[in-house]
Amino acid sequence: MTESLLQEPMLTGGLDDHWLATRPPNALDSASLAWLEELRADGARRDRRVRELHAHLVRVALREVSRRRGMLGGASGPELEDIAHQAAADAVVSIMEHLDDYRGASKFTTWAYRFVINEVSTKTRRHLWSARRVEFDDYDWERLPDRLTRAPDAQVAQSAQLAALRRAVDNELSPRQRYVFVAVALNEAPIDVVALQLGSTRGAIYKTLFDARAKLRVSLAEAGYPITDAERGS
Q: What gap in Å lies between CA 41 and CA 109, rounded to an integer?
A: 18
Question: Contact between 228 and other proteins (CB under 8 A)?
Answer: yes
Side-chain half-sphere CA neighbours of 230 within 13 A: 1
- Alpha-carbon dihedral of residues 50, 56, 59, 65, nearest 10 degrees? -70
Residue in 8, 81, 82, 222 binding other proteins, rule: CB under 8 A: 8
Number of residues written out for the chain: 234
Q: What gap in Å lies between CA 210 and CA 207, rounded to an integer?
A: 5
Question: Which of 75, 220 has the CB closer to other proteins?
Answer: 220
Question: Which of 197, 201 has the CB closer to other proteins?
Answer: 201
Q: What gap in Å lies between CA 5 and CA 195, rounded to an integer?
A: 12
Q: What gap in Å lies between CA 116 and CA 113, rounded to an integer?
A: 5
Tell me if 221 sits within 8 A of 232, measured CB to CB: yes
Q: x/- contact string, 158-197, with other proteins (CB under 8 A)? A: x--xx--x-------------------x--x-xxx-----
Q: What gap in Å lies between CA 169 and CA 138, rounded to an integer?
A: 12
Question: Which of 127, 202 has the CB closer to other proteins?
Answer: 202
Residue in 28, 98, 109, 172 binding other proteins, rule: CB under 8 A: 109
H-run or E-run covering 194: helix 191-197
Q: 138: left (phi > 0), else alpha (psi -120 to 50), else beta? A: beta
CB of 151 to other proteins, least distance (A): 11
CB of 63 to other proteins, least distance (A): 8
Question: Contact between 131 and other proteins (CB under 8 A)?
Answer: no
Q: x/- contact string, 10-49, with other proteins (CB under 8 A)? A: xxxxxxx--xx----------x------------------
Q: Which residues bind other proteins (CB under 8 A)?
A: 5-16, 19-20, 31, 52, 55-56, 59-60, 63-64, 67-68, 105-107, 109-111, 113-114, 117-118, 120-121, 147-149, 158, 161-162, 165, 185, 188, 190-192, 201-203, 206-207, 210-211, 213-214, 216-217, 220, 227-228
